[in-house]
Amino acid sequence: MAAAGSGARAGHENWSSRSAFILAAVGSAVGLGNMWRFPAEAGENGGGAFVLFYIFCVLLIGLPVLLSEVLIGRHGQANAPESVRRVARDSKASEGWSVLASMGVFAAFLILSFYCVVGGWVIYYIGVFASDLFQTGLTGGAFEGRAAEDIEGLLPSLFGNGGLMVGLNLGFLAVTMFFVSRGVSSGIEWVAVYLMPLFFLLFLGITIYGAFTGNFNEAVAYLFTFDFSKLTGEVMLAAVGQAFFSLSLGVAGMMTYGAYANRETNLGETSGIIASADTGVALLAGLAIFPIVFAAGLSASIGPGLMFQSLPIAFQAMPFGSLIGLAFFIMVFFAALTSSVSLLEAPTAWVFEKFKLARPVATIIVGTGAAVLGALSGWFWGAPVPGVASLALFEGQDLFNVLDGVTAKLFMPIGAILTCIFVGWIADARLIDKENGLDGVLHQTWRALVRYVCPIVLAVILVVGLTG
Ligand code: PHE
């Protein structure tokens, strides 16, 4: 770790190794986006068409943007807006481009606020399964003797309890703040290095179990049958938004993590690893959740409740159900924590570098803001936001859904378009070529994607998705 206060890179820290960087970045990418949001979005957008277009977005748009972001961060070695400013300065371009990262930092803050609300639900389910385990013992299924509607009703009854929602949200945020306040190597990295491997182990076990016990074939058909007629502008925008959300893009998070990477790290290769791991987990999560949904005769399109309402019903029928349920939600908690840490880190790094504050102080400032906004979305759950809810994009939506939609469908794609224009057209090509770690055909392909394909495709999807 570089000593705090060393010269021009004051307060700047580094990952202790390349694998720590990879684990932290994979930790940021893999989270509620994969386990909770991906299945919910796939279900709401008709399955196969969404999923295949999502994979297309990850490969052709997400991956090139991911490399562009970590590359800006590594060159700048600072918080995201400052990194963009440094790349612009070294390219003799306008420093005004830093606005793309300022927007990102703000979006990260917005996402953090509602992400911790869902983090709170995860804590609630950990509690539910732990007490169930205590009551029914190790070997029995979960929730013995309780009706399916009863189990499904757990989430709505939590929604009805504003005070509990807010409390759990604050609990999740507090844990996130604890690790971010400890800094890069002793806080953020610690979470990633210990929790991510544990997550993968638990995840694999549960997926294999789901594949063998649920309605696997129906799930595969649902997720991978491509029906072109279902691919509307709205579905495409949802898929792009999900790809960005899942890869942590367009919100300065990956720029911030890239800034802690050292010169020796090959960014092209690292980006490939991050995108593969993230997409692999999302698809496997779909393959773990949908077989269970179909086997239990539940609807695939219920949206945000999917993971929380369908899986517990499945755990009821399983031997060791309470134990498996508990393990599952602990695993989701770990994955969510490594992501929320990155969401908090992006604005925090900006605040403490910009205003020359101590890291813990900046953490408290940003965390308090997110606590207030998150508490509002928990408290006003289900209440359409006055004014905003009358717009077509946010029809009848509450604060939670407006924040989710505005970040994934506006901030992230727009941030990504600006990033591509900046990296592809504005920044000095020699500087970019030196940083990206790609050669030959791969390099040419990446450059063409960033210059032409990504901005054009994104702009088209944005327009089509927003207008109809
Ligand atoms: N990628 C994270 C997830 O899938 C969420 C996230 C979005 C994290 C943006 C950081 C930045 O859960």
Which of ligand 1's atoms lies nearest the C-alpha of 29? 1
Q: Calculate mean pLDDT across residues 226-232.
A: 88
Q: Give yes or no for a contact between 137 and 144, defined as CB atoms under 8 angstroms apart.
A: no
Gap between the Cα atoms of 372 and 305, Å rounded: 23
pLDDT above 70 covers what percent of the chain?
97
- Measured CA to CA, the distance from residue 271 to residue 274 in angstroms comes to 5
CA distances to 232, 337, 340, 352, 361 from 173, rounded to whole Å, are 36, 9, 8, 19, 15
What pLDDT digit, counting tens, does each position of 325-336 carry? Answer: 898 899 899 999
Q: ∠204-206-212 over CA atoms, to 5°?
A: 105
Decide if 162 contacts 352 (C-beta within 8 A). no
Query: Any idea what DSSP says for residue 15?
Result: -
Q: Does the domain formed by 18-467 have CATH 1.20.1740?
A: yes
pLDDT of residue 11: 53
- Predicted confidence at residue 3, as pLDDT, reads 38
Q: Is the pLDDT of residue 69 over 90?
A: yes
How far are the Cα atoms of 46, 187, 292, 385, 395 from residue 398, in angstroms, in the given order? 23, 34, 29, 5, 9
Give the pLDDT score at 309. 87
| Banded pLDDT at 6 (limits 50, 70, 90) | very low
Domain boundary assignment for the chain: 18-467
For 412-426, what is each residue's pLDDT tens digit? 999 999 999 999 999
pLDDT in the model for residue 4: 37
Mutate to test the pocket of ligand 1, among 106, 118, 246, 248 (most ligand atoms within 8 A of CB): 248
Instruction: Please tell me the pTM assigned to this model.
Output: 0.93
Give 12 or 87, the one with higher predicted confidence: 87
Per-residue confidence (pLDDT) for residue 245, from 0 to 100: 95
Q: What is the mean pLDDT of residues 380-386?
A: 91
Pocket lined around ligand 1, Cβ cut-off 6 Å:
28-29, 31-34, 108, 111, 245-246, 248, 251, 253, 339, 342-343
Q: From CA 273, how far away is CA 70, in angstroms rounded?
A: 13
Q: Would you say residue 2 has pLDDT above 80?
A: no
Residue nearest to atom 10 of ligand 1 (CA): 248
Mean pLDDT of the chain: 91
Residue type, 206: I
- Taking the centre of ligand 1 as the mean of its atom positions, its distance from the CA of residue 443, in whole angstroms, is 27
